[in-house]
């Protein structure tokens, strides 16, 4: 698992170390890690360290101190270091003295010259900062042309929500001290590559977690020696309609591709589904579809009375149900449909559907908003986005950073619903199935787009689905490599 800790948790974990260690020792630990990452980045980008140029953007808090100490260490390795102090009277004294003693240059005020740096260290604001950059800092940032390494987190981005409400830093690399914070997942495009430096923290139980690729691969259901098509999980799919048959084809196809279990389809798009996926068993409606272990309801199914009847039928069972797309619109009109269900219920909204369900735009606090909906409704919620957020009713949260935005294409959500529904039917716990499905879905999208190469291109949902088996093989291989 990859763990993420709130700013309060990190500060609480720092307190006993600060009390036990000599004054400034913890900061110097962090600065040493920051200097090491910066030197490696200089070497990677320019071919060397000595003679290169680094500019520090220094605020009045501890992040400014981290940057100053790191600057002193870099200066001793032959780097030309310039510090720009946003508030000279409040700069960290010991760090500033160390930089000056090492031969670093210091300039006061946001109008100071930046020089022509190879890299810039963002030490403007730390985890105690809230809100956007103030105008002087924003103006200074606007003059930066070099790649930025953020100290702990990009300044102007909230550490716990990843949200921005104005000017903020976009870094190529972020160096986090002691523990990852939610910002590193929720605002991954702002953070760039994240490097974690061990400074001896023991922060306890994480507020938010993410499955690793190896963990997803280890848990992915594959046939055992005594398995058959029924024991591997039978998923029922209510998706697609005469108007939107493609949704049924994508959702059912994703379920077929994700596992070796059986897929039953109930809906008006049966001819189209069977023409593409002949292994699917089709019926007209939920009540006559046959035995399943989980239901997926909603993608392209419509919002008329017939669609409502099918949603009610699935929710009336004692089986896990994934509610997506059109079914979420029906649920927004009548939340009582899921009230009191004893079986697991998973809602998979995008931001607009989330707002219809709750009346709240989740953008300013995706973690908090998802937690509240899960708790208030007694369901598990998967909020879609570049960083998928999955919350259980009791508060546990899993996240998955998609690495890119290739999956932002029509029909992508239909594929995700089919993947996760098949995993739920296999017997996996709901939130785990959701996180695993999100990871495989994102990887398949990136494979289809070639996002790790210079030839990255827009994709369709069909292209995403065509890469799902390859994505599962890669995840399984990640597990094999660790064992």
Within 8 A by CB and 6+ apart from 191, the residues are 150, 153, 154, 157, 171, 174, 183, 184
**184 is annotated as contributing to ligand binding:** no
**130 is annotated as contributing to ligand binding:** yes
**388 is annotated as contributing to ligand binding:** yes
**48 is annotated as contributing to ligand binding:** no
Helix (H) or strand (E) holding 308: helix 305-315
The owner of tokens 């259901």 is: 221
**481 is annotated as contributing to ligand binding:** no
DSSP bridge pairs for 323? 297, 347
In a 13 Å sphere around the CA of 347, the CA atoms on its Cβ side amount to: 35
**131 is annotated as contributing to ligand binding:** yes
In a 13 Å sphere around the CA of 461, the CA atoms on its Cβ side amount to: 21
**59 is annotated as contributing to ligand binding:** no
**Which pair of tokens denotes residue 139?**
């103006």
**419 is annotated as contributing to ligand binding:** no
Distances (CA, A) of 423 to 70, 255, 282, 286, 479: 47, 8, 20, 19, 18
**122 is annotated as contributing to ligand binding:** yes
**247 is annotated as contributing to ligand binding:** yes
**62 is annotated as contributing to ligand binding:** yes
Nearest to 185 by CA among 156, 153, 139, 155: 153
CA torsion sign for 184, 187, 188, 193 is: negative
Distances (CA, A) of 311 to 240, 315, 329: 13, 6, 11
**Which pair of tokens denotes residue 54?**
């680094």
**200 is annotated as contributing to ligand binding:** no
CA torsion sign for 34, 123, 62, 366 is: negative
**87 is annotated as contributing to ligand binding:** no
Nearest to 354 by CA among 375, 369, 334: 369
Task: Count the neighbouring beta carbons within 10 Å of the beta carbon of residue 287.
Answer: 12
From CA 422, how far away is CA 366, in angstroms rounded? Answer: 26
**Which pair of tokens denotes residue 396?**
């546990």
Let me know how long the chain is. 483
**446 is annotated as contributing to ligand binding:** no
Within 8 A by CB and 6+ apart from 275, the residues are none
Helix (H, G, I), strand (E, B) or coil at 235: strand
Quickly list H helices, 53-92. Answer: 62-75
From CA 386, how far away is CA 402, in angstroms rounded? Answer: 6
**414 is annotated as contributing to ligand binding:** yes
From CA 136, how far away is CA 315, in angstroms rounded? Answer: 55
Distances (CA, A) of 245 to 256, 294, 298: 17, 21, 12
Task: Count the neighbouring beta carbons within 10 Å of the beta carbon of residue 394.
Answer: 10
**326 is annotated as contributing to ligand binding:** no
**132 is annotated as contributing to ligand binding:** yes
**384 is annotated as contributing to ligand binding:** yes
Rg of the chain in Å (alpha carbons): 25
**Which pair of tokens denotes residue 374?**
């899960």
From CA 80, how far away is CA 57, in angstroms rounded? Answer: 14
Binding residues for (6S)-NADPHX: 62-66, 126-132, 152, 247, 300, 350, 414
Binding residues for AMP: 384-388, 413
Binding residues for K(+): 63, 122, 155
Binding residues: 62-66, 122, 126-132, 152, 155, 247, 300, 350, 384-388, 413-414
């Amino acid at each position: 698992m990859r763990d993420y800790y709130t700013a309060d948790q990190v500060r609480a974990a720092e307190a006993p170390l600060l009390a036990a260690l000599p004054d400034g020792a913890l900061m110097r630990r962090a600065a040493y890690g920051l200097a090491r990452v910066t030197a490696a980045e200089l070497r990677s980008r320019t071919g060397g360290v000595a003679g290169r140029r680094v500019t520090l953007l220094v605020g009045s808090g501890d992040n400014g101190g981290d940057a100053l100490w790191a600057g002193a260490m870099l200066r001793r390795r032959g780097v030309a270091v310039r510090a720009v102090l946003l508030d000279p009277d409040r700069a960290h004294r010991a760090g500033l003295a160390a930089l000056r003693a090492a031969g670093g240059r210091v300039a006061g005020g946001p109008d100071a010259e930046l020089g022509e740096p190879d890299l810039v260290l963002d030490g403007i604001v730390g985890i105690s900062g809230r809100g956007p950059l103030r105008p002087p800092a924003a103006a200074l940032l606007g003059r930066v042309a070099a790649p930025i390494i953020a100290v702990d987190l990009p300044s102007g981005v909230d550490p716990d929500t990843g949200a921005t409400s104005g000017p903020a830093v976009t870094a190529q690399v972020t160096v986090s001290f002691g523990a990852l914070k939610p910002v590193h997942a929720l605002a991954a495009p702002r953070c760039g590559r994240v490097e974690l430096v061990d400074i001896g923290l023991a922060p306890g139980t994480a507020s938010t977690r993410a499955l690793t690729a190896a963990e997803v691969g280890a848990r992915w259901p594959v046939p055992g020696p005594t398995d058959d098509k029924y024991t591997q999980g039978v998923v029922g799919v209510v998706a697609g309609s005469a108007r939107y048959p493609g949704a049924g084809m994508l959702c059912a196809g994703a379920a077929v591709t994700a596992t070796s279990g059986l897929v039953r389809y109930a809906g008006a798009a049966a001819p189209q589904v069977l023409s593409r996926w002949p292994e699917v068993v089709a019926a007209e409606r939920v009540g006559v579809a046959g035995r399943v272990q989980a239901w997926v309801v909603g993608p392209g199914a419509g919002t008329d009375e017939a669609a409502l009847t099918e949603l009610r039928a699935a929710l009336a069972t004692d089986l896990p149900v994934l509610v997506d797309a059109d079914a979420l619109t029906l649920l927004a009109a009548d939340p009582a449909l899921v009230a009191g269900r004893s079986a697991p219920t998973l809602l998979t909204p995008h931001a607009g559907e989330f707002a219809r369900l709750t009346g709240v735009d989740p953008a300013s606090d995706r973690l908090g908003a998802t937690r509240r909906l899960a708790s208030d409704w007694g369901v598990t919620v998967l909020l879609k986005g570049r960083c998928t957020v999955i919350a259980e009713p009791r508060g546990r949260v899993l996240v998955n950073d998609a690495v890119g935005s290739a999956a932002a294409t029509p029909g992508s959500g239909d594929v995700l619903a089919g993947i996760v529904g098949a995993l739920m039917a296999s017997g996996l716990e709901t939130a785990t199935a959701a996180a695993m499905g999100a990871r495989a879905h994102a990887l398949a999208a990136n494979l289809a787009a070639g996002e790790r190469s210079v030839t990255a291109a827009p994709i369709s949902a069909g292209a995403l689905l065509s890469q799902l088996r390859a994505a599962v093989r890669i995840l399984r291989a990640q597990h094999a490599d660790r064992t």
